[in-house]
Structure 1
């Protein structure tokens, strides 16, 4: 075995054993000697991808593909990174190229279907996912994605049938349970949907989608006490102007946000309409958002201490999974004239929030307000939901449980409405 093969084997062994730092040291040294080592570029790309360094991973995968065009593992990895960066057309091109090379790959067809779903093309998604289901007819993931796409085109009965099959095969999967519940809810089966959301919460007590679903179904079933506890705005919603206290220069932050090179107009699969949104921001110390990250971290820690000391919400289901370890993720939203965000939750988070860099100058009372409690509009819900409306101001920080439905009213004003949203993401030990 020559030195190169021995080095590559050692790097792969470090990666398999979870010794990423050692593997990176060897890769960096190797690539300094030989920048055109395709396999080492690929391996370093996988490390960068695992660390969330998406742009660095993309550069490594691009380098590897320049040297070895069309290599399937690298194409697949680059497609996933492009998806993370919300460069959907490029991601789709990589996966469609792979489909020509590996037409019997379930993962390739599934990812094509997921991209079409994200891009708002459910018919194309169904076509790709049916291809995947022929290759793997018992795959719970494929069946669930297909069922979700069928719900998107109004095929509620077929969607529900497939979701039922998935739940029968994976009864402890909270995502399967909540997707099944949503399909039942679309059919107006409120009681059955409520039961599935409850099952999901028992299976995964921190599931924000389950909590949001229980809120919707409890409201429809007239369970006022449950609704009042889940949407206890006085105890669970926090806001205040913090920019001055934390010495945040709003003009500088505003300029940094508006010149961000990855702002996308109405990104697919997001709630932003008539506005721009970024992928996840780099919050490292070297980034222009490091001061913002430190500010949010301080206020999140303060908020979590206050929540833990509050006697008003003892026993609340949201508190069953207060994260011991967590990380922040954040993104930019810029609403232009007529811009708004449709009702949504943040299922990946535990605590969420938004910092207003510039609330704009609304010309109409209520334009650009933040609204809590209003569920998504494609469901047959009849009862009025308890809402809380808030008019944001520049330099203000608002925090709320991630299961809270929230949206904005259409913005009409002079200058853009600029905010930085964030999630507290639980990290497993």
Structure 2
């Protein structure tokens, strides 16, 4: 009799296997519904019944990861990998957990191993590219993003991800080109519109930036980053009152939005509303440096 069944003495082995299977299946639906605590409860019982099922450990680890319970996630992925050492999914998920904990070299080791098993797994390639960028290995990260695009040129998200990296590298025209490719694949992709608007702002193409950011906000009125960027664009175009409305709303949505406080402070300073400007600059310093 399986070791886990001792916790359910009234169940036969066949009944325990059946119950554990249904619990795992229900947990997967809970995960799809983002009800991760409910999934963890089901998976914990499933593991108690059948501790040798690698999928149950992996799924519970994934729910812990999504909930930022990183140590618990690592424990579960470790157990899953003891049972299935060559699970690309478990390795990739454990790598994502290490990356979230800023243990980037360990994350890279898991991603590299996972990619020997599943070389064309887009989400693992994406996670590896993110880790490379965080390690400031930007050229290597760019190569990974380009590889992802070669595998499937029709995915808007992949173009956006490379565009974000180009923007981080201050290569604004390259970023604009990638966001444009994303929008060819998905016309109303909010992030592509918002990020292209930001890249256009950085390239001093304010009218085009305004059009993109306004469209992004039509689609997603609560997009605080698009509001902040549009506020900066409106200020550059000389409309400080409308700029302040956008920045006020952005800060209302995210009271920790440091850049918005800085931009709003600069506009208030330009309008000679110095007490309010001082308040915004002080808040920006407090949030960024703990002043």
The question of 1:119 aligning with 2:7 is answered no
Give the match's secondary structure for 1:167.
Answer: helix
Matches of 2:235 and 2:287 in 1, distance apart?
A: 22
What pairs with 1:258-273 in structure 2 (closer than 5 Å)?
A: none
Q: What's the CA shift for 1:190?
A: 1.1
Deviation, 1:61, is 0.9
- Measured in 2, the distance between the counterparts of 1:181 and 1:391 equals 24
Q: Which of 350, 371, 394 is the matching residue for 2:253?
A: 350
Q: Cα offset for 1:106?
A: 1.9
Residues matched between the structures, number:
266
**For 1:102 and 1:177, how far apart are their aligned partners in 2?**
32
**How big is the shift at 1:36?**
5.3
Partner of 1:386: 268
Q: Is the 8 A contact 1:65 1:75 kept in 2?
A: yes
Residue in structure 1 matched with residue 209 of structure 2 by the alignment: 193
Residues 201 and 207 in structure 1, CA contact (< 8 A), matched pair in contact too: yes
The structure with the largest helix share of the pair is 2
1:142 aligns with 2:31: no
Residue 71 of structure 2, aligned match among 55, 59, 64: 55
- 1:374 corresponds to 2:277: no
Of stretches 122-131 and 32-41 in structure 1, the one that deviates more from structure 2 is 32-41
Alignment of 1:37-116 (within 5 A): 37-116=53-132
Give a deviation string over 1:44-83, Cα, whole Å, max 9, x none: 2233234443321221112222333231111122122223
Q: Is the 8 A contact 2:64 2:72 kept in 1?
A: yes
1:272 maps to none
Q: Which residue of 2 aligns with 1:363?
A: none
* 1:328-339 superposed matches below 5 A: none
Is residue 143–residue 166 contact of structure 1 (8 Å, CA) maintained in 2?
Answer: yes
Maintained 8 Å contact 2:160/2:178? yes
Identify the residue that residue 180 of structure 2 maps to in structure 1.
164
Distance in structure 2 (CA, Å) of the matches to 1:228 and 1:43: 46
Q: Aligned runs of 1:397-412 on 2, under 5 Å?
A: 406-407=284-285
- Contact 1:148–1:159 (8 Å) recurs in 2: yes
CA distance in 2, matches of 1:392, 1:373: 7
Structure 2 match to 1:208: 224
Q: Normalising by structure 2, what TM-score?
A: 0.77
SS in structure 1 of the partner of residue 187 of structure 2: coil
1:12 aligns with 2:24: yes
Does the CA-based 8 Å contact 1:45-1:57 persist in structure 2?
yes
Q: Which runs of 5+ in 2 are unaligned?
A: 1-12, 270-276
Classify 1:4/1:371 alpha carbon distance in 2 versus 1 (closer, same or farther; 3 Å). Answer: closer
Q: CA contact under 8 A between 1:372 and 1:389: conserved in structure 2?
A: no
Q: 1:22 to 1:144 in 2, by over 3 A?
A: closer
Other structure's SS at 1:374 match: helix
> Greater relative contact order (Cα 8 A, min sep 6): structure 1 or 2?
1
**When the two structures are superposed, what TM-score results if normalisation uses the length of structure 1?**
0.54
Distance 1:371 1:78 in 2: 33
Asked whether the equivalents of residues 23 and 46 of structure 2 are also in contact (C-alpha less than 8 Å), the reply is no
> Which blocks of at least 5 consecutive residues in structure 1 are unaligned?
233-316, 319-344, 355-369, 376-383, 399-405, 412-416, 419-429
Q: Deviations over 1:359-403 (max 9, x none)?
A: xxxxxxxxxxx996435xxxxxxxx6435334999xxxx7xxxxx
**Distance of 1:372 and 1:213 partners within structure 2:** 8
